[in-house]
Amino acid sequence: MRMRKLFAGLAAAATMLGGLALGATATADTTQTELNGTAGNQNVTLIQDAPTNITITGAKARLAGHKFKYVRIGTYTYAKTAPYAETDGDTLKVAGVSVETDSAAKDYLNTVLTQVDDAYAKDTVYYSSNPAGYIAEHMNDSGASASPTWSGTLRNFVTKLAQNDAFQKSSGTSAEVNTNIGENADGVSSFAQSVSQGLYVVVDVTNNASPSDDVKGTEGKYRASIPMVVGTKIVGTVAYTANDGSPTSTTREFDLASGPLGTVSVKNDRPTIDKTITGVDDTTTDKENQQTNVTADGKAASAAVGDKISYKIGNVEIPSTVGYDTIKFQYTFKITDTLHKGQTYNDDAKVYVDKNGDGKLTDDELLRAASSADADKSTYDYVLTVTKPTANDADQNTTILVDLAKYVGGYSNDRTALVDGSAAGLDPDLIGKKIYVTYTATLNDDAIVYPDGSNDNGVKLDYSNNPGSESHGTVTPPDTQVFTGKFGLKKVNKDGKTLAGAKFTVSKNGQAIAFTGTAGSYKVATADAKPTATEVEVGADGLLHLSGLEGTYTVKETQAPAGYSSLFLPEFQVTVTTTPIKSDTLVNNKWYMSSDMEMQDGKPVPVDKANAKTTVTVAKQDVWKLVDNGVIEGNVKVTNVTSVSQLPLTGAAGIMLFTMAGLLLAAAAGLVYTKSRATTRALRRH
């Protein structure tokens, strides 16, 4: 009979995952302790408008700060207790309950049910007269086996209902969860709101369009929950015969025999995103993706101008779009990466979905790209838009936009319809899988040289955060930082006087390094830099600064200053290393050391940029010992001499000096001997 089916519908909903749940709370009057078999199979005298609680449960972060609206769509009109035995203790329950539509809800319930359920118009019992009763009876149509989670006909109904103008204007009870809500030992929070007993639609009406939804970090705020349907506990009185034969009664809150009532789990998720540097390719070697230049957390690296840096954007989970009308409300799910002007994008972005969760990112996991300029987008998964700087752009940064709304939301190409089976956000095998974006960039001669700062690279995820509107939030993880270093040399004579006019070449792994700049100051040049030179010159002040360096270089003097010997030109190896420091304080989405902070207006403010350290080491001294050796503080001192007599009397230079002196003495002795022989012969002739 219909009553029995209705009971079953309410009961089965208690185990549903579709947001149409009837759960438990614990506020029953348990003063009656002499229940017996006569309390079963009895009519319940319902106490209309009796207060009871709807309890929403979930992790603290899912609930804190969220605001919910409770709209009653049906009232309980009849209930009967289930068979009872003393072994059941004090857990007298109801076998089933009848639901009658609230008059204020009838019109919009009829409208929405007709839109989403063809069977409703054919139902001769409930159609038009009692839509809430129909909902109660069919609440188990989207049962625990629904796939994906929260999907099904009733889910479609409540989604459409939440978007209905008349429903949105309907009266209800609103309540906001305290941001400091507690949690139990299992990390679960509960939010209880007093309402009159009945059947409710609960809508998350949190203002997700507020700036507070723009989060700095790897985890965004939880989206608004999709709408939920929940039946409260049944409040009423049951009359029965006490053990001594006297008539008595019990008034309490009842659960259904087939399951608890009054509790529903919040149904929301939150976006995540992170970005790391996975390696640096030194263009002077065959080695790729070197890890020695990258910090353990992948947040910072050191590189030379011309090196290629590999990036990976990850931990972007495919969200569920169940409950979202992605046609009525423009769905947003896009990744925007911003490259500092000191890095040149190499046009090699790839987007993967790690379908098997192994993190290996193989070609069969690649998504199909379409340029924003492509006319035919019939087979694409996402649109890639790269905006490179023009001469008039103030910041000269490059942006890489990966728009995944079509892939996640399942749009047709013109976004006017949904394509069946194409929405990753509705695919149970894809929801929760992680999206990754990989690309490389080359450090160019616009790079900031440490200690002036770092070449930062930011990313953000824009996402729809409310099923009932076009509001969206952003989550922005900390920037990655690429450091490049420099070293300086000072040209002096034996007395320490600075010298101008000397020239040098610099090479790395046998390859000459090209520079751009003028006498005294140069930076490593990239291919498109003009002009470039492989020979650099000391400035008038005797100083030469070379920047954009990382690694070990061979520096060779090719021209001595005027008046100084070209026979004793030094050649040496110098290692320039700029090491990012493991920082512990995040300010404006950049990491700093807490020791470099000072408090201003109650907030930490960086007082310098000491989040890296450049070390210059002369690893291999020249044969003449004319260059400083070891770790150098300040400029590397390089000495010129006018003659061999000014060379240091140590090492190879000293050996050379004594060798030359010996050769001169030998030559002189030979000359004396020759002259002596000649003199002897002359005397003999006389």
In sequence order, what are the beta bridge partners of 275?
Answer: 313
Q: What is the pTM of this model?
A: 0.78
pLDDT at 286: 62
pLDDT class of 588 with cuts at 50, 70, 90: low
pLDDT at 89: 83
pLDDT at 95: 94
Ranges assigned E (strand) in 509-658: 511-512, 515-518, 521-524, 535-537, 543-549, 551-559, 571-580, 585-587, 590-592, 597-600, 603-606, 612-620, 630-632, 636-639
- How would you class 574 by CB atoms within 10 Å of its CB: exposed for 0-12, middle for 13-18, buried for 19 or more? buried
**Tens digit of pLDDT for each residue in 256-315?**
998 899 999 998 888 999 999 999 998 777 666 566 789 888 999 999 999 999 999 999
Query: Which range is least confidently modeled, 168-172, 251-255, 468-472, 622-626?
Result: 468-472
**DSSP H/E element including 12:** helix 2-12
Pairing of strands 333-339, 173-176: unpaired
CA–CA dist 193, 175 (Å, integer): 7
CA distances from 294 to 54, 225, 247, 349 (A): 52, 40, 81, 21
Pairing of strands 590-592, 535-537: unpaired
- How would you class 515 by CB atoms within 10 Å of its CB: exposed for 0-12, middle for 13-18, buried for 19 or more? buried
- How would you class 659 by CB atoms within 10 Å of its CB: exposed for 0-12, middle for 13-18, buried for 19 or more? exposed
C-alpha 284 chain-centroid distance: 33
Higher pLDDT, 326 or 590: 326
Across the range 439-463, mean pLDDT stands at 94
- Asked if 302 and 406 count as a contact pair (C-beta separation under 8 A), the reply is no
Higher pLDDT, 589 or 111: 111
Higher pLDDT, 316 or 657: 316
Phi, psi values for residue 669, rounded to 5°: -60, -40
Across the range 343-351, mean pLDDT stands at 96
DSSP string, 341-383: TTEEE-S--EEEEETTSSS---GGGBPPEEETT-S--TT-SEE
| Mean pLDDT, the chain, whole residue set | 83
- How would you class 478 by CB atoms within 10 Å of its CB: exposed for 0-12, middle for 13-18, buried for 19 or more? buried
**DSSP H/E element including 313:** strand 308-317
Measured between its terminal Cα atoms, the distance across the chain in Å is: 159
pLDDT at 155: 77
Across the range 79-99, mean pLDDT stands at 90
pLDDT at 494: 94
Higher pLDDT, 579 or 211: 579
Most confident of 23-37, 92-106, 635-649, 657-671: 92-106
pLDDT at 683: 46
**Tens digit of pLDDT for each residue in 627-679?**
998 999 889 999 999 999 888 865 444 445 444 444 444 445 455 445 555 54
**Tens digit of pLDDT for each residue in 509-563?**
999 999 999 999 999 998 777 778 999 999 999 999 999 999 999 999 999 999 9
Angle, helix 106-116 to helix 153-163, in steps of 10 degrees: 130
Higher pLDDT, 530 or 596: 530
CA–CA dist 329, 252 (Å, integer): 44
Name 316's Cβ contacts closer than 8 Å, sequence gap at least 6: 271, 272, 273, 335, 434, 435, 436, 437, 461
**Tens digit of pLDDT for each residue in 398-445?**
999 999 998 998 877 777 777 766 788 878 788 889 999 999 999 999
CA distances from 23 to 76, 158, 631 (A): 16, 18, 70
**Tens digit of pLDDT for each residue in 204-258?**
988 755 545 677 778 888 888 888 899 999 999 999 999 888 999 999 999 999 8
Name 273's Cβ contacts closer than 8 Å, sequence gap at least 6: 218, 220, 313, 314, 315, 316, 335, 459, 460, 461, 475, 477
